[in-house]
């Protein structure tokens, strides 16, 4: 009985040792869980850079209506807030004094012309008999001088008459440019003069308007001088004007010029846009936003900024190859767009890019790729 018990005990120990060995082998056969990373598949598409800045609307032309002669305003000849044409009468200054001055100037001219005819005829007669000795050389010279002075008086009287007629014409104040006229600043019965500092009204040409935006010189360079992957085209630069809610105005706008100098105090430059304004929705003095989109490439790649690792010797990203291994790839960037960083070289469409979890990766490490969930 003792021998049989010992045999059973040895068998139990052997089975126990064998079981432990099997457990160890099973544990050794199991590989640790692969590192989980979040990836996104790169897709090629149109790449552009968009920037926006505050801007202010400026009328294409602004004319302050001022009198060129003095007098009493007798009539306003326009409707306030209406469209006026160049040369259209706007105000009437009492013309009676100017008509009287024109009549006086006409009389002065007539007297000067009569005197000139008389002295001219006398000089002609003396010229015919001066060789006979009946008239002295001095008398003949005096007659010629008097005739010349009379001719000068005629020219002076004509100039004076022309000036008086011009003053009479200026008594009707006309619009120098076409546009929309604002409210009147003087009324009938007001006394005005050419030395007044207050305008009678203001006409602003607004079928086209300027929009001036001030922006840092560095931002302007990013828009105007951005490198392009495709050949430049006439539509490479798109300009739009936005209201306070961010909605674009239904107007055609284009970049007219950028400032040629930088403000010493602010470091800003002026960007001037010209825009069609047929519906007059853009009013002078209005603040809006100027948005400029620069085309970069038709089939470019944009990657999230969080996927980029930056070192002194360049930029790199982590990708996952077809075998599920992590790969470190250097990339060259061409700038930033509204969607992320623009890739100039180093990546291709279809690459699985790691956007989360790259801090734990090593070259060739097996990973579990989890697709990036789209934002709701």
List the CATH number of the domain containing 114: 1.10.287.470
* pLDDT tens digits, 313-357: 789 899 999 888 999 999 988 777 767 888 888 888 888 999 888
> For residues 374 and 207, which has the higher predicted lDDT (pLDDT)?
207
Work out the widest C-alpha separation in the chain, in whole angstroms: 192
The residue with greater pLDDT, 242 or 127, is: 242
Residue 19 covered by a domain: no
The answer on 225 and 135 residing in a single domain is no
Per-residue confidence (pLDDT) for residue 224, from 0 to 100: 64
Mean pLDDT value across residues 36-57 = 87
Look at residue 15 and tell me if it is in a domain.
no
Confidence at residue 107, expressed as pLDDT on a 0 to 100 scale: 96
Structural domain harbouring 180 = 67-93+171-198
The band of 14, judged by pLDDT with boundaries at 50, 70 and 90, is very low
Least confident of 117-121, 190-194, 342-346: 342-346
User: Is residue 124 pLDDT above 90, yes or no?
Assistant: no
| Cα four-point dihedral sign 201, 204, 205, 206 | negative
CATH of the domain at 220: 2.40.30.170
Q: Strand, coil or helix: what is 80?
A: coil
pLDDT of residue 142: 85
- In-domain check, residue 376: no
- Tell me what the mean pLDDT of segment 152-169 comes to: 96
Take residue 136 and report the two structure tokens written for it: 């002295």
CA Rg value for the chain? 46
Q: Count CB-CB contacts under 10 A for residue 164.
A: 20
Whether residues 327 and 306 fall in one domain: yes
Q: Cα dist. 182→84, 204, 213 in Å?
A: 10, 8, 25
The CATH number assigned to the domain holding 339 equals 2.40.420.20
Q: Which pLDDT score, from 0 to 100, does residue 223 have? A: 66
CA 144 vs CA 57, 113, 151, 323: distances in Å = 66, 16, 11, 117
The span from the CA of 134 to the CA of 353, in Å, is 121
> What whole-number distance in Å separates Cα of residue 47 and Cα of residue 334?
11
pLDDT of res. 9? 41
CA distances in angstroms from 67 to 49, 169, 195, 202, 209, listed in the order given: 51, 11, 8, 12, 27
Give the pLDDT confidence of 203-252 residue by residue, as tens digits: 999 999 999 998 888 777 666 655 444 444 444 678 999 998 889 999 99
Report the pLDDT value the prediction gives residue 185, as an integer from 0 to 100.
95
Domain end marker among 269, 298, 327: 298
- The CA-atom distances, in angstroms, between 351 and each of 43, 283, 371 are 8, 50, 12
Whether residue 350 is found in the same domain as residue 362: yes
Strands (E), 171-229: 172-174, 179-181, 191-192, 201-216
Which tokens is 358 given? 């790259």
Do 275 and 366 lie in one domain? The reply is no
Would the pLDDT of 17 be above 60? no
Q: Indicate the pTM of the whole model.
A: 0.65
Sequence-distant (≥ 6) Cβ neighbours of residue 40 within 8 angstroms = 304, 352, 353, 355, 371, 372
Place of tokens 């604002």: 182
Token reading at 129 = 């008999």
Number of folded domains in the chain? Answer: 4
Q: Is residue 110 located within the same domain as residue 182?
A: no
pLDDT tens sequence across 241-291: 999 888 999 999 998 887 777 877 777 888 899 999 999 999 999 999 999
The helix (H) or strand (E) run that includes residue 237 is strand 237-242
Query: For position 56, what pLDDT does the model report?
Result: 96
- 187: CATH: 2.40.50.100
Closest by alpha carbon to 270, among 260, 259, 261?
A: 259
Strands 367-371 vs 35-41: parallel, antiparallel or unpaired: parallel
- Of 318 and 31, the one with more pLDDT: 318
pLDDT, average across residues 6-17: 44
Choose the weakest-confidence range: 114-118, 230-234, 276-280, 303-307: 230-234
pLDDT average, residue stretch 98-118: 95
Q: What percent of the chain has pLDDT over 70?
A: 86
Residue 167: CB atoms within 10 A of its CB come to 21
Same domain, 102 and 158: yes
CB burial of 337-347 (b: ≥16 within 10 Å; e: otherwise) equals beebbbbbebb
The residue that leads in pLDDT, 179 or 261, is 179
pLDDT value at residue 362: 86
Instruction: Give dist(CA 21, CA 107) in Å, integer.
Output: 138
pLDDT at 80 over 80: yes
Cα 2 to chain centroid, rounded = 107
DSSP string, 288-336: EEEEEEEEEEEEEEEE-GGG-EEETTEEEEEEE-TTSBEEEEEEEEEEE
* Residue of 357, 361, 367 whose CA lies nearest to 322: 367
Mean pLDDT computed over 162-180: 95
* pLDDT greater than 70 at residue 309: yes
Mean per-residue pLDDT for 147-167? 95
Q: How confident is the model at residue 375 (pLDDT cuts 50, 70, 90)?
A: low
269 and 162, same domain (yes or no):
no
Angstrom distance (rounded) from CA 192 to CA 172: 13
Q: How confident is the model at residue 193 (pLDDT cuts 50, 70, 90)?
A: very high
Instruction: Note whether 274 and 178 are same-domain residues.
Output: no
On whether both 291 and 230 belong to a single domain, the answer is: yes
Within 10 Å of residue 205's Cβ, how many Cβ atoms?
Answer: 18
């Amino acid at each position: 009985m003792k021998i049989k018990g010992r045999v059973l005990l040895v068998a139990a120990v052997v089975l126990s040792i064998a079981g432990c060995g099997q457990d160890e082998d099973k544990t050794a056969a199991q590989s640790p869980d692969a590192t989980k990373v979040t990836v996104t598949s790169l897709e090629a598409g149109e790449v552009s850079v968009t920037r926006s800045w505050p801007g202010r609307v400026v009328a294409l032309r602004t004319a302050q209506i001022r009198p060129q002669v003095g007098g009493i305003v007798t009539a306003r000849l326009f409707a306030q807030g209406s469209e006026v044409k160049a040369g259209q009468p706007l105000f009437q200054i009492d013309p009676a004094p100017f008509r009287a001055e024109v009549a006086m100037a006409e009389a002065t001219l007539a007297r000067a012309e009569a005197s000139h005819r008389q002295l001219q005829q006398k000089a002609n007669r003396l010229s015919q008999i001066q060789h006979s000795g009946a008239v002295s050389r001095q008398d003949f010279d005096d007659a010629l001088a008097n005739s010349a002075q009379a001719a000068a008086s005629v020219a002076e009287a004509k100039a004076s008459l022309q000036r008086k007629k011009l003053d009479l014409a200026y008594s009707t104040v006309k619009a120098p440019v076409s546009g929309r006229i604002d409210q009147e600043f003087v009324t009938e019965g007001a006394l005005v003069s050419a030395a007044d500092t207050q305008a009678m009204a203001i006409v602003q040409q607004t079928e086209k308007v300027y929009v001036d935006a001030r922006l840092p010189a560095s931002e302007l360079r990013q828009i105007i001088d951005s490198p392009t992957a495709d050949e430049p085209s006439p539509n490479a630069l798109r300009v739009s004007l936005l209201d306070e809610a961010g909605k674009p105005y239904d107007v055609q706008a284009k970049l007219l010029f950028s400032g040629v100098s930088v403000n010493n105090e602010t470091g800003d430059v002026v960007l001037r846009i010209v825009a069609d304004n047929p519906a007059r929705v853009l009013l002078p003095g209005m603040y809006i936003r100027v948005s400029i989109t620069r085309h970069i490439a038709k089939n470019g790649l944009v990657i999230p900024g969080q996927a980029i690792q930056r070192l002194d010797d360049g930029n790199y990203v982590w990708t996952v190859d077809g075998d599920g291994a992590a790969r470190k790839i250097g990339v060259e960037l061409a700038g930033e767009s509204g969607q992320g960083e623009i890739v100039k070289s180093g990546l291709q469409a279809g690459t699985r890019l790691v956007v989360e979890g790259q801090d734990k990766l090593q070259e060739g490490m097996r990973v579990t790729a989890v697709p990036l969930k789209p934002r709701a």
